[in-house]
């Protein structure tokens, strides 16, 4: 079968890919397993050397790769450049730190010698989304390879071009042939890959619905999985917040990647005493952002990745308005635009509305009023997701208390927008998934934490 990559700006076909057959997939997996048999014995210094080369290649091809993302999924060039730079950063981070993270750890027992050893598992299958087509891959791939694992990528079908380029970069950097390979298959064939006995672990970034299916399949085969799923991050704006700082951070977070980010701010919970002032400042900053061709250097917001995703988002907006929300900016599909959706703000958002209950995966902000801090925290946690959250206040000890003890999310920030960082563990709770990527904890997800005991 053939799979088409379509430009979300104009609907034109960019490329047509021939999907791998079942026999080809099996051959790829066999080749990856054979390559892993040698790679797991490769010294850390050699692994690090090749990963440093990857970082250099990424930076040297930054403009080309950013352009590819703009074509395939509509990311504005400035966002694409930043994404490639971040991929290079994560490669360098693990190239420098992986050996320390995975060194044997002695433990005092009655044995003459006992310690914890971290050993690779084998092939890690990654099922990745289109919204950050390079970053989502490298944040799992860099630690997986440094830990001595092999990897297979099943990327979203609209960014197969990005997937192929990642494989090319790994080969160009001198990694063994077949150690990392891309599977060009549709989503409905993933189960067959998971069932292959040579697949030892699965990592998925995507929707909660798909995550549950993959988790169930992996669990039925007793295979380790890590899931980074949807999010509906709440940002609390308290009465003593620096409103200029808060509004700028909130707009930046809400519109990152044209609003198509799991860790973007989506619900803005504002104390009633400052609601009017914050909302107007927020509206002005949202309205100033430029929507247009992602190839244009002045563009802040590109198209949504596909027309059906844009239409689904619009229906969430319309239903929320029908249930009583007020639209004070945007909320209308531009005439003649293939996949574009404008920056949109909904106010008077209440429980029961899609803007309150669901993830809005696009440039739509939901403003929710709270009488006080206690109610604001309750509203923030009154959601099935738990990926990230932030609180804005001039009282840093107050902000830290709320972030560390009261907000139910995997990452909580004070006076800053939520973002991933190679140095810090990243992941969610509740329907935002389980397990962690990045940092020390990320590289230890896909290893055998082995006890060695010598009497």
Catalytic annotation, pick one of 87, 162, 262, 412? 262
pLDDT tens across 363-383, in order? 999 999 999 999 999 999 999
CATH number assigned to the domain comprising residue 339: 3.40.309.10
What gap in Å lies between CA 141 and CA 110, rounded to an integer? 38
Sheet holding 344-347, edge to edge: 326-329, 344-347, 364-370, 265-271, 233-237, 388-392, 411-414
Are residues 447 and 393 both part of a single domain? no
What gap in Å lies between CA 284 and CA 301, rounded to an integer? 16
Are residues 272 and 413 both part of a single domain? yes
Length in residues, the chain: 455
Are residues 195 and 331 both part of a single domain? no
Are residues 89 and 185 both part of a single domain? yes
- Looking at residue 336, what is its pLDDT? 81
pTM exceeds 0.95 for this model: yes
CATH number assigned to the domain comprising residue 160: 3.40.605.10
In a domain, 67, yes or no: yes
Catalytic annotation, pick one of 228, 275, 431, 437? 228
The gap from C-alpha 70 to its chain's centroid, in whole angstroms, comes to 17
In a domain, 16, yes or no: yes
In a domain, 390, yes or no: yes
Of 172, 126, 116, the closest CA to residue 150 belongs to 126
Is the C-alpha dihedral spanning 34, 92, 131, 386 positive or negative? positive
What gap in Å lies between CA 352 and CA 355, rounded to an integer? 8
Asked if residue 215 lies in contact with residue 238, where contact means CB atoms within 8 angstroms, the answer is no
What gap in Å lies between CA 245 and CA 414, rounded to an integer? 11
What gap in Å lies between CA 242 and CA 436, rounded to an integer? 32
Are residues 264 and 161 both part of a single domain? no
In a domain, 426, yes or no: no
Phi/psi for 19 (5° steps) reads -65, 150
Are residues 89 and 193 both part of a single domain? yes
Are residues 178 and 238 both part of a single domain? no
Asked if residue 36 lies in contact with residue 150, where contact means CB atoms within 8 angstroms, the answer is yes
Of 134, 124, 152, the closest CA to residue 88 belongs to 134
Kindly provide the b/e burial profile for residues 140-178, where b requires at least 16 CB atoms within 10 angstroms of the residue's own CB.
Answer: bbbbbbbbbbbbbbbbbbbbbbbbbbbbebbeebebbeb
Phi/psi for 139 (5° steps) reads -70, -20
In a domain, 104, yes or no: yes
pLDDT tens across 218-231, in order? 999 999 999 999 99
**Which range marks the domain in which residue 222 is found?**
2-229+432-454
pLDDT tens across 96-117, in order? 999 999 999 999 999 999 999 9
Domain count, the chain: 2
Are residues 194 and 286 both part of a single domain? no
In a domain, 427, yes or no: no
Are residues 266 and 366 both part of a single domain? yes
What gap in Å lies between CA 242 and CA 254, rounded to an integer? 18
pLDDT tens across 428-455, in order? 999 999 999 999 999 999 999 999 999 9
Are residues 243 and 208 both part of a single domain? no
DSSP output for 386-445: ESEEEEE-S-HHHHHHIIIII--SSEEEESS-----TTS-B--EETTEES-BSHHHHHTT
**228 annotated active-site:** yes
**262 annotated active-site:** yes
Asked if residue 36 lies in contact with residue 123, where contact means CB atoms within 8 angstroms, the answer is yes
For the chain, which ranges sit under pLDDT 70?
A: none
Are residues 131 and 143 both part of a single domain? yes
Are residues 281 and 376 both part of a single domain? yes
- Looking at residue 227, what is its pLDDT? 98
């Amino acid at each position: 079968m053939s799979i088409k990559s379509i430009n979300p700006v104009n609907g034109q076909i960019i490329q047509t890919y021939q999907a791998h057959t079942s026999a080809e997939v099996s051959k790829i997996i066999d080749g990856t397993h054979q390559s892993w048999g040698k790679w797991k014995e490769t010294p850390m210094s050699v692994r690090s050397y090749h990963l440093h080369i990857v970082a250099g290649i990424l930076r040297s091809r930054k403009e080309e790769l950013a352009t590819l993302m703009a074509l395939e999924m509509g990311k504005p060039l400035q966002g694409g450049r930043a994404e490639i730079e971040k991929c290079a950063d994560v490669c360098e981070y693990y190239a420098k730190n992986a050996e320390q993270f995975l060194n044997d750890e002695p433990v005092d027992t009655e044995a003459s010698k006992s310690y914890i050893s971290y050993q690779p598992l084998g092939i890690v299958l990654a099922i990745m989304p289109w919204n950050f087509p390079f970053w989502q891959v490298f944040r799992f791939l860099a630690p997986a390879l440094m830990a001595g694992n092999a990897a297979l990528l099943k990327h979203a079908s609209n960014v197969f071009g990005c997937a192929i380029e990642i494989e090319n970069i790994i080969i160009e950097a001198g990694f063994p042939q077949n150690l990392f390979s891309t599977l060009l298959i549709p989503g409905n064939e993933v189960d067959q890959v998971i069932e292959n006995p040579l697949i030892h672990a699965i990592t998925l970034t995507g929707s909660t619905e798909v995550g549950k299916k993959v988790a169930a399949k992996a669990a039925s085969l007793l295979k380790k999985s890590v899931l980074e799923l949807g999010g509906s991050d709440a940002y609390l704006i308290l009465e003593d917040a620096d409103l200029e700082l808060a509004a700028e951070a909130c707009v930046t977070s809400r519109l990152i990647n044209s609003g198509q980010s799991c860790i973007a701010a989506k619900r803005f919970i504002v104390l009633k005493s400052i609601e009017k002032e914050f909302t107007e400042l927020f509206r002005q900053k949202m309205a100033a952002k430029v929507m247009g061709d992602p190839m244009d250097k002045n563009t802040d917001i590109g198209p949504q990745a596909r027309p059906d995703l844009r239409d689904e988002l619009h229906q969430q907006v319309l239903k929320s308005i029908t249930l009583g929300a007020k639209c004070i900016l945007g909320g209308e599909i531009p005439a003649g635009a293939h996949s574009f959706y404008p920056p949109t703000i909904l106010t008077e958002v209440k429980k029961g509305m899609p803007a309150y209950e669901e993830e809005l995966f696009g440039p739509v902000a939901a403003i929710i009023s709270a009488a006080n801090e206690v109610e604001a925290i309750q509203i923030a946690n009154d959601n099935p997701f738990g990926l990230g959250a932030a609180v804005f206040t001039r009282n840093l000890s107050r902000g830290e208390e709320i972030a560390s003890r009261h907000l139910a999310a995997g990452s909580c920030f004070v006076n800053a927008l939520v973002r991933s960082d190679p140095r810090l563990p990243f992941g969610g709770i509740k329907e935002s998934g389980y397990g962690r990527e990045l940092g020390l904890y990320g590289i230890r997800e896909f290893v055998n934490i082995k006890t060695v005991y010598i009497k």
